[in-house]
Structure 1
Amino acid sequence: MELDEITPLLWQATGETAVMVGWATLFTVLLGLPLGVALVALDKDGLRPMPALKGAIGVVVNVGRSLPFLVLMIALIPFTRVVVGSSIGTEAMVVPLTVGAVPFFARLVETALREVGRDVVQAAQAMGTGKLAIIRKVLLPEAFPGLVAGLTVTVVALIGYSAMAGVIGGGGLGDLAKRYGYERFETGVMVAVVIVLIIVVQLIQSLGDHVARRLSHK
């Protein structure tokens, strides 16, 4: 294929990938952030110790992280049909992308929050600050650089997951590489997809690292 034929296909596929990753990132933050906070707050040394509940949440998170994404996509096909009404297409892929990324991001949130010094939390407690206020005004702000770094890693992982989604008709760059690069032996398309993915990942990683460094220096 000529460059003028590949370019519109690349733009369309990149747009589909951006939609999938964008929505999945939003839902991952909305679900994964409170899950990560719960893993810290419910620990035996946390703000609201409930080891049994924390253990149960930890098991669920570990199970979610242990499943390869391709297996997870196939296993979630019935659930995806219920939620979206279809198991293929860009919108449908947001469901397995989110389910796959939430446990991953939750653990990164947990790690970032645990790096906040205990003395900071204890000082807030000594001032009579409530538990929710400590989370909102102490833990999350102090851990923000680590949270940004964790989110960056998650977005990069989601881009990789979205490429795999093309295997079962998810659209995006992975689907373009499969339909043209693999099935039609169009080497130029495959090379173009790889180059676009590398550029996108590098841009996101560089932006995330820059923001995290700026926040850590404040």
Structure 2
Amino acid sequence: MAPKAWLAWVKYGSAEIEKLKRRVARYRIVPKRDQVAPADSDKRKVLQKIYDFYEPKRHRFEALASMACESMVKETGAHYQRGWLTRGTGDGGLDFVGRIDIGDGLSRTKLVVLGQAKCEKIDAPTGGVHIARTVARLRRGWLGAYVTTSFFSDAVQREVYEDQYPVVLLNGAALAAETTRLQLASGFQDVDQFLHHVDAGYEDQVSSRKPEEILWE
């Protein structure tokens, strides 16, 4: 009376176990409360400062987003090289360029990272169309990064997992954490001073270069 899979395992042993396992798709869905942090938390206060600072000049948010993406990747132990920012025009899903290096010597490979930065209302989910636009710009072997002051809805997260988009999602809470880490590492006493410092260097980072040019550096 046992299930067929169990009977087959008893009969054929561990050699057949991979064919008999039931595979269920599991999504690492992160709820909104974990993406924007509680309203009274320090992380949420930092996030609010970021949004208030960039809301009147949203295109300049790209500078902070690029730095946060670099900080996040380096925390994983990977080598990341920050590239440049695109000009504030109709870029169609491209705001900053970076590069991830894997391996060393002859086994080394370089991956272009195309980043999208969105300074959005903290309590409103980011639109899936923006992520799709970023993915549409990717070539084979390239990666995408989407940095927002907002959060990603359950539906958007499922779409990314199901379609296997090669894109890294950096939500508001993660952005606040990386910003605080960068602020402390830079020796600034508060977030406001750090944001002014980042914004002051915005113009020097803007370039009209093609994304693939970062592979030549």
* Class of the TM-score when normalised by the shorter of the 2 chains: under 0.3
Q: Which has the higher helix share?
A: 1
TM-score under structure 1 normalisation? 0.23
Q: TM-score, normalised by structure 2?
A: 0.23
Higher RCO (C-alpha 8 Å, min separation 6): 1
